[in-house]
Homo-oligomer: A and B are copies of this chain.
Amino acid sequence: MSHLLKISTQKRSKMLDITVQVQAEVKKQDIKQGLCILYCPHTTAGVTINENADPSVRQDILAQLEKLVPLKGDYSHLEGNADAHIKASIMGSSVTVIIEESRLKLGTWQGIFFCEFDGPRQRKLFMNIIAAD
């Protein structure tokens, strides 16, 4: 079963906590056991799993990525967002989460984050659920 999440980002770089929306959809689809795949169809955004308790963690992830892959650099791509493409591949285009008893089996401190690297924009995230015994 496939589902589309619509995401609106307000800044150039942002890690958006989407855990609640994803969990709500898992519940709605009434899948007891299986896998939830979240897939980002954009090339200047990604998806990751990290701490959602202290917002400073997200801030540190984005700041360090900016140090490693600065906005301004000696890039060939002329659209001014080469850094965003590189960051997207470092974070990855999808995450897989286990579903158990109709719930995302996340760790205590984990949240799922849409990683915007070239916003603000209207974005999409594909969600796919695979039922398993």
- Report which A residues bind B (CB closer than 8 A): 1-2, 33-35, 37, 39-43, 48-51, 54, 56-57, 59-61, 63-65, 68-69, 73-79, 82, 85-86, 88-98, 100, 105-110, 124, 126, 128, 130-133
CB distance from A114 to the nearest CB of B (A): 13
Docked CA distance A27–B113 (Å): 32
Assess whether B133 is in contact with A100, with CB atoms less than 8 Å apart: no
Number of copies: 3
Closest to A73 in B: B64
Assess whether A60 is in contact with B76, with CB atoms less than 8 Å apart: yes
CB distance from A39 to the nearest CB of B (A): 6
Assess whether B130 is in contact with A88, with CB atoms less than 8 Å apart: no
A-B pairs with lowest CB-CB distance, top 9: A41-B107, A56-B76, A43-B51, A56-B77, A49-B93, A60-B82, A48-B89, A60-B75, A98-B128
Using known A-B contacts A89-B61, A132-B131, determine if residue A107 contacts B35 with beta carbons closer than 8 Å: no
Q: Which residues of B contact A63 (CB under 8 A)?
A: 74-76
Given contact pairs A43-B49, A63-B75, a sample of 6 additional A-B residue pairs in the complex whose CB atoms are under 8 Å apart: A2-B33, A41-B107, A93-B95, A93-B110, A98-B126, A107-B124
